[in-house]
Amino acid sequence: MTASPTTPLLQASAVRIGHGRTALLPPLQLTVCAGEVWGVLGPNGAGKTTLVRTLLGLHRELAGKVRRPQTIGYVPQRSELDVGVPGRVLDLVRSGCERGFSVLVPFWERTRAPQAQRALADCDLGDLALRQFRELSEGQKQRSLVARALAADPSLLVLDEPTSAMDLDAERELFALLRRLAARRGLGVVVVSHQLHQVLQVATHLLLVDRDQDALVAGVRHDVMHHPAFRQRYGQALEVTP
């Protein structure tokens, strides 16, 4: 079911992230709604992955509260995935439908297959469904992983550095796909990336994570871009942003 554009999907209230008892960043106040594309930006080691994993519930927050939707589609960094195993694209995408013992539920194939087919279509993978995953280009592999995350019919899609090992054209295609998915499915999308210019092309909202400045800035794209911490970090790059 497509959510209303004003439906809050993910809410963080005064959330502190960190390891042990040590907070990495200031408290986070964040609301992600349906149809929004959030770009998470910041230098290496700033805490972006820890923050995202905390928002997903994979890492416990030190303080505050996170409210999450029931179903989240997550595409982790490629280094966390075994992407060389044999298997067709269709099989990979169908695996995203599985929840616990769902494969043992009667009529599972009948009830879940349409979700997998829709995910393939939305990611422009219909012609590649029967291809071996390992034979695909990097861009096609990443779209397949996005389709797998979509197969569970989530209301929120989270991606951590999805364009690593991809060429510029493939990066552009993937970010354009994320924008289409947010509009077409009414998804909330959160994407962690170092690709500043690509993120600024598609994001409706930004989240700057910068431990060097002890800054955590979230909001509408225009407002965050004009925040002093953002200008300090990306000022020179912004001068050449289309």
Which DSSP string do the residues of 124-175 spell out, in sequence order? T-GGGTTSBGGGS-HHHHHHHHHHHHHTT--SEEEEESTTTT--HHHHHHHH
Tens of pLDDT, residue by residue over 134-172, are 999 999 999 999 999 999 999 999 999 999 878 999 999
The topology under which CATH files domain 1-70+155-242 is Rossmann fold (3.40.50)
Torsion of CA 46, 47, 52, 55, to 10 degrees: -130
What pLDDT is recorded for position 3? 62
What pLDDT is recorded for position 45? 87
Q: CB neighbours (10 Å) of residue 158? A: 25
Q: Is-above-0.85 flag for pTM?
A: yes
Run of H or E residues at 16: strand 8-16
Domain boundary assignment for the chain? 1-70+155-242, 84-153
Q: Is the dihedral of CA 241, 122, 149, 186 positive or negative?
A: positive
DSSP type of residue 88: B
- pLDDT mean over 118-140: 94
DSSP type of residue 104: G
